[in-house]
Amino acid sequence: MKGYDDWQRAQFAEEAYRGEIRALEIERDRLKKRVEMLKNDDLTKERLARKRLGYIKPGELKFKVVKPDAVK
């Protein structure tokens, strides 16, 4: 029965690898979509610049809200 046990373990391992491949393909597709949005979508670029870099448009005011605990 050792051959059958080996075969069964191999089947379980293969199914686990297939699941991992599916998850990686989904992540790859999500990242591809994000890259395309960053290349082609001006609104996405603007949101990213505002959020990560703190950019503002001319004439806008930027406010920084500080928690009272952080002022001590």
Is the alpha carbon torsion for 61, 62, 67, 71 positive or negative? Answer: negative
pLDDT in tens, 11-59: 999 999 999 999 999 999 999 999 999 999 999 999 999 999 989 999 9
Cβ–Cβ under 8 Å, residues 43 and 33: no
Query: Per the confidence metrics, is the pTM higher than 0.75?
Result: no
pLDDT in tens, 46-70: 999 999 998 999 999 988 888 888 6
For the chain, give every domain's residue range.
Answer: 2-71
**Structure confidence at residue 65 (pLDDT):** 86
